[in-house]
Amino acid sequence: MRVLIRVDGSVQIGTGHIMRCQALAARLSPHADITFVCRAETGHLGQLIAAQGFKLLMLPATAPLNEQQDAAACLQHLDKHYDLLIIDHYALGAKYSQAMRGQCRYIMVIDDLANRSHDCDILLDQNLFPDAPSRYTALVPASCHLMLGPRFALLREEFYQSAPPRQHNRILVNFGGSDAQNMTGMAIDALGQLKLSDIHADIVIGASHPRREALVLQLAEQENFTLHVQCNYMAKLMHQASLMLGSGGTSHWERCICALPGLVVTVADNQEATTRYLAEQGACLWLGKAEEMSASYLAAQLDKYLQLPDQLETMSRAANKIVPTSAGTHYVIEEIDRIIRGING
């Protein structure tokens, strides 16, 4: 099976789209020939994709294109037909898919905004919404197969491996790969204000973090703080931590499958609805929006909840119910296979 994946990552839009597509591609790769198509924006992560052994077609970074122009640019690079096109891109909708139909037999869209029409055979939205079944009713063809909710979370293989034990007062900080607002720097300042003496913190950033050098200097005096850049062992860090401070997005589902309690700061508008609903389910605590935060407030919240182990344990159990170990990427692959076989009769 030939699979084409159209996805972008950058300092501006973050790396979450790339990471979840890589997780899906890794599961597909034993049975498929996979090609990624990405634009060469700053922080595009093309080297990471290529290092995983996937074919990569890089489109030039240009002024914003409309959907038909983006499709035309992609088609210029394609010399074969594909069995499945996977689109994970907020700027691409039905017009892009329609332009690609002649080159791709089936189309799958990964989305969570539900704000535009799609011409697709499969749509996956791994987020948790109270109105999930109705969000895409008017946005996809009646024949489209919907995969909705965290049981379809696109998680890397590491999240299904054996885990190290949780460690007391170990904090994980992760505000995404690019972290345009540099919430990581604020979190480090907050950790420095904690009165507890036995704190260890793991700080995770992506290779494209715009303040990477400044963060290294910021951490130079902190003996018990460790910086991890573009690490491939996030599951290990999540299982070891007793509490996470970070953003929403894909990390919600990674945290949930690891049963890790979380203090969440939303860094984009599209993170708010799911984060609010998860907080209502007791699976995290939503601290608010990034622009509302300060180092002293984050320090106070960390200090408070580190001293409430029973409450953290309750949050841990609630999170683990959201994404059980039976869910995830392997389940998505099984569903894709089942749907395509069903379409073919």
Cβ-contact 229, 205 below 8 angstroms:
yes
Report the amino acid identity of residue 237.
Answer: L
In the chain the first and final C-alpha atoms are separated, in Å, by 18
Q: What is the DSSP letter of 144?
A: P
- Map 149-167 to HEC letters: CHHHCCCCHHHHCCCCCCC
Q: Helix 329-343 and helix 16-28: axis angle, to 10°?
A: 70
Report the amino acid identity of residue 63.
Answer: A
Please pick, among 17, 44, 89, 200, the residue that the annotation labels catalytic: 17
Extract the tokens encoding 266: 């939303």
> Catalytic: 145?
no
Annotated binding-site members = 156, 254
Q: How far apart, in whole angstroms, are the C-alpha atoms of residue 40 and residue 62?
A: 9
Cβ-contact 55, 37 below 8 angstroms:
no
- Map 25-50 to HEC letters: HHHHHHHCEEEEEEECCCCCCHHHHH
Q: How far apart, in whole angstroms, are the C-alpha atoms of residue 103 and residue 97?
A: 10
Q: To 5 degrees, how large is the angle CA 206–CA 209–CA 211?
A: 140
Annotated binding-site members for substrate = 156, 254
Which of helix, strand or coil describes residue 59? Answer: strand
Ranges of beta strands (E only) in the chain are: 2-7, 33-39, 55-59, 82-88, 104-110, 122-125, 145-148, 170-174, 200-205, 225-229, 243-246, 262-266, 285-289
- Write the DSSP assignment of 274-328 as a string of letters: HHHHHHHTTS-EEEEEGGG--HHHHHHHHHHHHT-HHHHHHHHHHHHHHS-TT-S
Q: Which residue has the tokens 């182990």?
A: 309
Residues assigned a catalytic role: 17
